[in-house]
Structure 1
Amino acid sequence: MTNQHYGQFCGLARAAEIVGQRWTLLILRDLSVGPRRYSELVAGLPGIPTNTLATRLKELEDEGIVARTAPSGTERSVVYRLTARGEELGPALDALSRWGAGGMREPRDGEIVTTSSITAALRVATGDGIVPADWDTTYNVRVGEVEVHLVMRDGTVVADPGLVEDPDLEITAGPGIRDLLAGTLSPQDALATGAVQIDGDPALFERFANALHVPYSPSLAI
């Protein structure tokens, strides 16, 4: 851990010392989606200096938040994963993501989306992940070059990277999906304007839009 200490016996101060360093929250976001090799972390965090990534991983290991799995069998790379202590950060990461998204409408110049960022965004959008128990629907979602899938089943919603075969609905979208998730763009208008394209039953798209929600902050004039 760095030498930056706030000199306060305070939970928030201690948390800030651990996760408040540059890139740390995004490393944790990517690992919350699933274990990653070092090369996968580099690829999923464009712009991160490799020495910074190595330093942050070492700091998180020292804090018991991240663990590494040594290569074995045919696996030749070290794999990093969250520990049980690291997984406790999940609700805090989701809350920060939701808060940040409240002030986001369109990407700024140079901003991109990644597989982990979209997967995490959909996870946040599911809220408590509770849907009617009789729903059993699988979606493939493409946003730019990013591909993820989402499953509504047994009263829960789960988002994961990658596509699945034979989904119930294919969704292709650009930045306009943000307005859909905020509720300022209806499913009908999203399709009519071309902000979102689908392959499948429009009723399942309405189900998608009704189940996922990340509102804009009411305190901002967006």
Structure 2
Amino acid sequence: MKRRDYAQYCGLARALELVGERWALLIVRDLTVRPRRYTDLQEGLRGIPTNVLSTRLKELEQAGIVERQVAPAPSRGVVYTLTEVGHALEPSLIALGRWGSSLLGDPQPGYVVTPDGAVLNLRAAFQANEAAGITASWELHLADVVVHAVLTDGELTSGLGPVPGGADLVMTPRFAEDELPAYRTFVRAAKDGRVDLEGPRELFDTFLRVFTYPRRAA
């Protein structure tokens, strides 16, 4: 498969040559959250053809964005992870995710919410100016997916699974049958009073203030 070459001496053109092919940024998205085995990537990127996944990984490796590593004990085998160059894409991913979220319509039949997508959506909703000076931790249970956010004097750490040592507040929304377990539907459930809380109520209000998407401009 021939790589796209725009023949333009432009940073954006070069970026699109490296990560602009279909599925490439979603692979980077998932590896931003955690290193993954090939089969993990295939499972998380439902619908990606095997040959396309193999090709994209090879292209990303050749570009110095992704590398293979031996999984640490007790796991075995090879995992894909981002290089320093790859991790430098995260601010751009978050900015694109924030922009795209402002343009999301209603989910269509067959749409899913992936665990890694849920983490990136949470990071995209983060408002650093609202978090200044705050130290607290939260767990958000989205059906079978658990994501966490930890603020340490306003600095965010987030990822999959529970907060090590326990969260200050655990939030479990009660989704309607026709609702996807996504961050946006969690916010809707919060407005409707459909969230069970384990911890101080004031931290729930803080979370909704710190993790919110800006209103779309008219």
Structure-1 residue corresponding to 2:58: 58
Aligned-pair CA distance for 1:105: 4.8
Give the conservation status (yes or no) of the 8 Å contact 2:128–2:210: no
Structure-1 residue corresponding to 2:80: 80
2:169, 2:106 → 1: CA distance? Answer: 25
In the alignment, structure 1 residue 203 sits paired with structure 2 residue 202: yes
Structure-1 residue corresponding to 2:184: 178
In the alignment, structure 1 residue 46 sits paired with structure 2 residue 50: no
1:3, 1:103 → 2: CA distance? Answer: 29
Give the conservation status (yes or no) of the 8 Å contact 2:19–2:25: yes
1:46, 1:73 → 2: CA distance? Answer: 28
Give the conservation status (yes or no) of the 8 Å contact 1:147–1:161: yes
1:206, 1:128 → 2: CA distance? Answer: 16
**Secondary structure of the structure 1 residue equivalent to 2:131:** coil
**Secondary structure of the structure 2 residue equivalent to 1:36:** coil
TM-score of the two chains, using structure 2 as the length reference: 0.86
Give the conservation status (yes or no) of the 8 Å contact 1:33–1:119: yes
Q: 1:105 to 1:157 in 2, by over 3 A?
A: farther
Structure 1 vs Structure 2: percent identity of aligned residues? 40
Opposite residue 184 of structure 2, the aligned amino acid is R
Q: How does 1:44-193 map to 2 (within 5 A)?
A: 44-70=44-70, 74-128=74-128, 131-133=131-133, 135-164=134-163, 165-173=165-173, 174=175, 175=180, 177-178=183-184, 187=190, 189-191=191-193
1:34, 1:89 → 2: CA distance? Answer: 14
Give the conservation status (yes or no) of the 8 Å contact 2:140–2:170: yes
Q: Which moved more, 1:110-119 or 1:135-144?
A: 135-144
Q: 1:129 to 1:109 in 2, by over 3 A?
A: farther
Aligned-pair CA distance for 1:83: 0.8
- CA shift digits 1:130-183 (9 cap, x unpaired): 6242x33221111132111111222212211011353221112345741675xx
TM-score of the two chains, using structure 1 as the length reference: 0.84
Structure-1 residue corresponding to 2:212: 213
2:78, 2:146 → 1: CA distance? Answer: 25
Tell me the C-alpha RMSD between the 2 structures. 2.4
2:7, 2:166 → 1: CA distance? Answer: 55
2:36, 2:10 → 1: CA distance? Answer: 32
Opposite residue 214 of structure 1, the aligned amino acid is Y
**Secondary structure of the structure 2 residue equivalent to 1:152:** strand
Structure-1 residue corresponding to 2:20: 20
Opposite residue 200 of structure 1, the aligned amino acid is G
- CA shift digits 1:199-218 (9 cap, x unpaired): 33221110100111212422
Opposite residue 158 of structure 1, the aligned amino acid is T
**Structure 1: unaligned runs, 5 residues or longer:** none
Give the conservation status (yes or no) of the 8 Å contact 1:105–1:178: no
Opposite residue 79 of structure 2, the aligned amino acid is V
2:80, 2:130 → 1: CA distance? Answer: 30
**Secondary structure of the structure 2 residue equivalent to 1:139:** strand
- CA shift digits 1:55-98 (9 cap, x unpaired): 10100000011111135765422111111111111111111111
